[in-house]
Structure 1
């Protein structure tokens, strides 16, 4: 492509038309955080859960509220105030119910009908002390108050699958009621709080990284080009690329989320790296005595293919994320990959026209810097050639250690993985884990086996009881509810509310209990059994112990079920939102491995077609595969687990790191076409392209390094690991790649039927 002045101005006009069109469509900025966007969408587990919740509702649509009374919660004045608060909360539109010691009741069935006795009634002066003693003596209610009896738990059920905007509004109303209740203090934890808190953090992070990215780019550009226009031109180009990307994404209905916070800085450093190549070539031609016009034309015409290929490989790295089943990662990969394309368009449509329109950039020679680079690169090249036999062994040894580290890595993620330590939201969830049996939902689906008529049979109930005992012991779960809870409650009701009757009824009483289950079930705080009594659920809460521990516990549960519960009596399956997020950590690792293999294949194919040799295509992969393996070794050394927030960096890092290899190989190929000897061509490539590779790596590593300032785990680890992988790739490109190229001399000699010697 020839970048004449006329064509460049046409490109600028096209850029303005694109900008005007996107502006007229008026994209609306929206921030969002949806827990379900981390579910593996096409998995059989998700399809099962969707069917399950159609009968038994969502398992995480609740808000935990702990209200404090320093003098103790079993205080009638305090409890009366809490009752008033509960009623105010229940009057809110999107509150469906509240469970607490003040709302729970025990049914009592007599010949005159059924009545319900409150578990705790602060108005009942005569029976209050007796009620408190009964609560303290029973394990049934222990998870509704803290061990030191200073906190009372209110479990608020909000509208099912509430949208974020409504959830934010509801949480603000709840917060206002609690703040106006003159309580000693209170804590909250739940989905409607977490989603709002995440978005607030997102907005701050987004603004922060836009600002810090701007300062970083200005600093780098000024150091490199020492002129106002040398800073402003790249800033204008990068701004257009980022704005096009964000506008396109928003117009396609994709809101800004925890992943897209990284997009501006990612696109900015990629744009700067590409522009540095263009402007450096332009300045080189100016120093050689070419006119301003010819320098612009030659720089862009000669380099556009190489920058296109590097943009393509970078885009492929991001696009490979599209092959995961996790929506958040899927669309981050898609729109960031497309964003790289928008940034490339911005560079080639806007930059040459601005250079033609504006005064020439100063091409000031700095002899001491030129001398430093020349001397350093020659020394480095001589060292590489002198150690060409030992270099592969050293790289092989380090890679072997990294592979051992890879085998030791475990997949482990948490529900609140992305929150910073010490964050109020994180601390509140940990409080409920510690004091109230957990904040994370644990959900099991139950179904009667072929040998029983329903779940309300002696055999099925005994199986459920064994299962509950195992869950309580293994998961240390709090407040376990199931069809067995309904049966025990009914049996207690039939025995005048006696606490001793809170047990499985005798065989003779089962039929009578069966008849009462529908009316008892209607008053249950959550649905626990289907109308035909064939399906049910176990609903509990646990602490967020991490997906690695959860997987081990789930395996123990499955082994227990297989050994102690006959499928002919009871069929059990782990499900729920927490389970889906836990398995998504492992699923994404496997899916990204497939995406990475596809990226390897495509890059090798592009390089093979470009250089017309499959051997050369494979050579391009080696110095870019090794850094990824070294990255796993680094994760092992520093104790960083595989999870959603770390697995993605491998495809992203590969897509960006391979750019340097392609620049190196392209320059080497051009030198060989000038009929220079193999060693001389390699030296020229090392001295000229090596400097550019170092500069762009420093720019990219610094840009991604900025992400380590983030409070979000996903952003922090992405910055740390991608920056590290780029440094590893630089080492491989400048030390290992030249040695590998010397090892395939015959392939280069056969290229296009020419002999290069």
Structure 2
């Protein structure tokens, strides 16, 4: 397929396919759903999905804080304007309910049963003055802690699509603009999702363009010829076109992880082309005719380069074996994309090269050989020093890495100075938190329902512990219904919003059926056997929240009688934390798959388990060093950093595979082991160095991203590739030297046969 006529035929096919894609382009769509980071094999996810059906989603909300620019929150004109906004938003399609202090009604029990009274009435100045004294009960929930803003808690319909969420958020903004009020802060899914996607679209184009510019500069510096620049640009451009066409034709939306894919595809493809073009210029310089040089270059290198591409793809494909949908999708399509880009290189590059007049000029060839020769001799002389250095740094990295903590935040991927971060912090400080907190309650065997006095006493103990551990805040629960009813029996007195005495409890029992029907968040099932404690808490991070949650659950284990009350933590924030806590498992799953595949490849190449083991050593060490680097840079372990170990291994092992494949070629030519290692070091060393530089610079581009996952991918992988280069050039030859006796024995046996 690499001779002239077949190459032209394949080139023609590739051009026609590219024209088809341009004539019938797929429609790109961007999406962001943080629920894709939930671990799918976790029983807690299945439990939450049932909880969501029985009660409601805890994530379909929008928090809006309104503040009077004139400074007086309870000014009549400001409240009237807020009420108009509330009515306008409530009528929008997609809004389920809007909870605010403006229309909140509390029950009052009188001679004729239950009636309802507005908490806040601004019909005239007298009523406004009279009811404003009741607001203190709602500070930190519907009124800010500083008393300067009020809250609109908008619950939107569940399962809104990205487009429907964007439309609803735009309509809400229009209502505010029409009434000339600018919210103090906004936080919630439909807002965050839209801002994430806007930033994703901008970065996707930015990194695609920056990667192309980088490739152009790299090609000019390395090959300094027209064909050495134009051919790779055309091939890699078509590779990107085919890859994203396949992804989009398959119906997959581009998400936050997709921002990295253009750079990954272009840089990995370029590193493969550098191997081919380095060999091609060598043959042209040695006087080979162009047609022969092209054919032999692709014939000789495709197996070795294909193996390096395969190991890179395996690094990403191994993410498919994790339990996080976002990582599975990213790993699968990135792995497929890398393989497809390599296929494009094989299909199009030979045909394009046959069209160009080629020359064998290439800068710094002799100088690089001299440098590598001097380096090889230095390594031979200082083997013990090199081994000691690698051993010492690795031990330090293990010590530092062992101190890394697993910790993640809900908005990890956004820059710390992004407006969304500021808005969430405002709700954390003034309204008790922005993160939903859900605890499932179930009646024990010795009570008939959660409204039994004994069950309520257990709930009161639990809420007391929650306030002690998480800080004072409002809870919506079966107990809050009972406290509201107790307040109703005492003419709405805020002081009576407490747990009732047994006598008060007995008097209110006849109103329980009416109580369950009160509008608002559902906190009790129709049979009163199950319920929830719902609130909002600050985003403390999975580490700190995990400690506090463990303290609360330990209290439940010791102090809550399961015969009266059963307790289970749930909710989307909890599932996100569970995802972060599973990083070790996710990383090990990916690495085991990657190690196994690379070991099989090495075993297939050399028919030697010993060489397979040696191949892994210089590629595991950079991963250990990455752990140490993360500790030194203060980078914590989380889902978005744990996956980098598998990805880095898959990319870094390429150079080792290339080195070993070249070594095998030299040995097959009858060279003794030491001479074969030297020739491999000199010839493969330059290509390894060039491809590492390309990969490092390419991934370093990603470190300029505003997204956390993209930034850390660029930073850590680029540094790890430098570690891998050092291991391949300094450590791998030294590890191979002791095999001389075994290899000589094997060679003699083969000659004898």
Q: Normalization by structure 2: what TM-score?
A: 0.97
Contact 1:205 1:261 in 2 (8 A): yes
Which residue in the other structure is 2:369 paired with?
Answer: 374
Contact 2:64 2:183 in 1 (8 A): no
When residues 111 and 526 of structure 1 are mapped into structure 2, their CA distance, relative to the original with a 3 A threshold, is same
Report the 3-state secondary structure (helix = DSSP H, G, I; strand = E; otherwise coil) of the residue aligned with 1:593. Answer: helix
Deviations 1:198-250 (A, max 9, x none): 00000000010011011000000111111233212111111121122111111
Report the 3-state secondary structure (helix = DSSP H, G, I; strand = E; otherwise coil) of the residue aligned with 2:703. Answer: helix
Report the 3-state secondary structure (helix = DSSP H, G, I; strand = E; otherwise coil) of the residue aligned with 1:64. Answer: strand
Aligned runs of 1:455-470 on 2, under 5 Å? Answer: 455-470=450-465
Report the 3-state secondary structure (helix = DSSP H, G, I; strand = E; otherwise coil) of the residue aligned with 2:474. Answer: strand
Matched, 1:734 2:723: no
Which residue in the other structure is 1:475 paired with?
Answer: 470
Which residue in the other structure is 1:571 paired with?
Answer: 566
Which residue in the other structure is 1:34 paired with?
Answer: 33
Aligned runs of 1:685-700 on 2, under 5 Å? Answer: 685-700=680-695
Which residue in the other structure is 2:702 paired with?
Answer: 707
Report the 3-state secondary structure (helix = DSSP H, G, I; strand = E; otherwise coil) of the residue aligned with 2:154. Answer: strand
Question: Aligned partners of 2:530 and 2:368: how far apart in 1?
Answer: 74
Question: Aligned partners of 1:477 and 1:267: how far apart in 2?
Answer: 51
Question: Aligned partners of 2:286 and 2:639: how far apart in 1?
Answer: 50
Aligned runs of 1:267-666 on 2, under 5 Å? Answer: 267-360=265-358, 362-364=359-361, 366=363, 369-476=364-471, 478-510=473-505, 513-666=508-661
Contact 1:28 1:250 in 2 (8 A): yes
Which residue in the other structure is 1:179 paired with?
Answer: 177
Deviations 1:149-202 (A, max 9, x none): 222211111112322111111101111111232236532111110000000000
Report the 3-state secondary structure (helix = DSSP H, G, I; strand = E; otherwise coil) of the residue aligned with 1:155. Answer: strand
After TM superposition, the structure 1 stretch with the greater mean CA deviation from structure 2, 464-473 or 4-13, is 4-13
Question: Aligned partners of 1:186 and 1:554: how far apart in 2?
Answer: 31
Question: Aligned partners of 1:416 and 1:221: how far apart in 2?
Answer: 38
Which residue in the other structure is 1:231 paired with?
Answer: 229
Report the 3-state secondary structure (helix = DSSP H, G, I; strand = E; otherwise coil) of the residue aligned with 1:389. Answer: helix
* 1:496 CA drift (Å): 2.6
Deviations 1:4-56 (A, max 9, x none): 11221232244345446656764220000012111112210100000111111
Question: Aligned partners of 1:464 and 1:541: how far apart in 2?
Answer: 17
Which residue in the other structure is 2:46 paired with?
Answer: 47
Question: Aligned partners of 2:328 and 2:453: how far apart in 1?
Answer: 48
Question: Aligned partners of 1:585 and 1:17: how far apart in 2?
Answer: 46
Question: Aligned partners of 1:573 and 1:736: how far apart in 2?
Answer: 52
Deviations 1:418-459 (A, max 9, x none): 001211111111111111111111111110111111111111
Question: Aligned partners of 2:229 and 2:516: how far apart in 1?
Answer: 70
Report the 3-state secondary structure (helix = DSSP H, G, I; strand = E; otherwise coil) of the residue aligned with 1:315. Answer: helix
Question: Aligned partners of 1:650 and 1:484: how far apart in 2?
Answer: 47
Which residue in the other structure is 2:92 paired with?
Answer: 92
Question: Aligned partners of 1:145 and 1:365: how far apart in 2?
Answer: 71
Contact 2:586 2:642 in 1 (8 A): no
* 1:348 CA drift (Å): 0.4
* 1:522 CA drift (Å): 2.7
Deviations 1:705-744 (A, max 9, x none): 0001111000000000000110000000000000000122
Question: Aligned partners of 1:612 and 1:413: how far apart in 2?
Answer: 44
Matched, 1:59 2:54: no
Which residue in the other structure is 2:677 paired with?
Answer: 682
Which residue in the other structure is 2:254 paired with?
Answer: 256
Q: Normalization by structure 1: what TM-score?
A: 0.96
Report the 3-state secondary structure (helix = DSSP H, G, I; strand = E; otherwise coil) of the residue aligned with 2:184. Answer: strand
Deviations 1:297-320 (A, max 9, x none): 111111000111011111110000
Deviations 1:74-112 (A, max 9, x none): 212211111111111111111122222212111112232
Contact 1:457 1:510 in 2 (8 A): no
Question: Aligned partners of 2:581 and 2:501: how far apart in 1?
Answer: 45
Question: Aligned partners of 1:311 and 1:4: how far apart in 2?
Answer: 23
Question: Aligned partners of 1:748 and 1:27: how far apart in 2?
Answer: 54
Deviations 1:520-562 (A, max 9, x none): 3333321000011110001110111111111111111111111
Report the 3-state secondary structure (helix = DSSP H, G, I; strand = E; otherwise coil) of the residue aligned with 1:481. Answer: coil
Report the 3-state secondary structure (helix = DSSP H, G, I; strand = E; otherwise coil) of the residue aligned with 2:141. Answer: helix
Question: Aligned partners of 1:750 and 1:665: how far apart in 2?
Answer: 19
Contact 1:613 1:747 in 2 (8 A): no
Question: Aligned partners of 1:610 and 1:77: how far apart in 2?
Answer: 81
Question: Aligned partners of 1:182 and 1:145: how far apart in 2?
Answer: 21
* 1:146 CA drift (Å): 2.5
* 1:755 CA drift (Å): 6.8
After TM superposition, the structure 1 stretch with the greater mean CA deviation from structure 2, 430-439 or 336-345, is 430-439
When residues 142 and 703 of structure 1 are mapped into structure 2, their CA distance, relative to the original with a 3 A threshold, is closer
Contact 2:141 2:474 in 1 (8 A): yes
Question: Aligned partners of 1:386 and 1:632: how far apart in 2?
Answer: 30
Question: Aligned partners of 1:521 and 1:188: how far apart in 2?
Answer: 31
Which residue in the other structure is 2:201 paired with?
Answer: 203
When residues 454 and 365 of structure 1 are mapped into structure 2, their CA distance, relative to the original with a 3 A threshold, is closer
Report the 3-state secondary structure (helix = DSSP H, G, I; strand = E; otherwise coil) of the residue aligned with 2:475. Answer: strand
* 1:478 CA drift (Å): 3.6
Question: Aligned partners of 1:750 and 1:21: how far apart in 2?
Answer: 57
After TM superposition, the structure 1 stretch with the greater mean CA deviation from structure 2, 235-244 or 620-629, is 235-244
Which residue in the other structure is 1:72 paired with?
Answer: 72
Question: Aligned partners of 2:664 and 2:398: how far apart in 1?
Answer: 32
When residues 73 and 365 of structure 1 are mapped into structure 2, their CA distance, relative to the original with a 3 A threshold, is closer
Contact 1:613 1:751 in 2 (8 A): no
Which residue in the other structure is 1:150 paired with?
Answer: 148
Report the 3-state secondary structure (helix = DSSP H, G, I; strand = E; otherwise coil) of the residue aligned with 1:648. Answer: helix
Which residue in the other structure is 1:218 paired with?
Answer: 216
